[in-house]
Amino acid sequence: MPSLAYALIAVGLAFDLLGCVGLIRLPDVYNRAQAATKCVTLGTCMILAGVAVAGFAGSGWPLALKAILCAAFILLTSPVAAHAVVRGAYLSGVKLWPGSVEDAFAARADDIRAEHAADAAGRQGASCREET
């Protein structure tokens, strides 16, 4: 196993551990989500890159190919999942930490809530009309 693979895996492990410490230490769900998602995504991608380097250096090139595929997939999906969860958290009314200095999503969130309420009212009206 070449020393480049050892270095990549070691840095990736450090990122993973620090991301999980952020998940414990930070005060609200938005801070936790941004710390943990970014650190753990990058850390796991670096571990996968280290495995790919080790695979190319050894005889296992299918292992390297699968590692690269998995890294690309995690890099695409993990931020999307975290974004969806945090958006759902805000729209369901989880409060920001009192020490937060700016809330740029507040106006847009009101618009989205109004749209959801209109949709729900429309559905309810439609079902009432069907009943009568």
Residue type, 102: E
Least gap, CB of 52 to another protein (angstroms): 9
Does residue 69 touch another protein according to CB under 8 A? yes
Sign of dihedral through CA atoms 89, 93, 97, 99? positive
Burial 14-45 (b: 16+ CB within 10 A, else e): ebbeebeebbeebeebbbbbebbbbbbbbbbb
Closest CA to 32 of 41, 16, 43, 21: 21
Rounded Cα–Cα distance for residues 36 and 11 (Å): 16
Q: Which stretch binds another protein (CB under 8 A): 1-9, 98-106, 122-130?
A: 1-9
| Contact residue for another protein among 94, 117, 118, 121 (CB under 8 A) | 94
Contact pattern from residue 33 through residue 52 relative to another protein, giving x for each residue in contact according to CB under 8 A and a dash for the rest: x--xx--xx-xx--xx--x-
Residues of the shown chain interacting with another protein in the complex, contacts defined by CB under 8 A: 1, 6, 9-10, 12-13, 16-17, 19-21, 23-24, 29, 32-33, 36-37, 40-41, 43-44, 47-48, 51, 54, 60, 62-63, 66-67, 69-70, 73-74, 77-78, 80-82, 84-89, 91-95
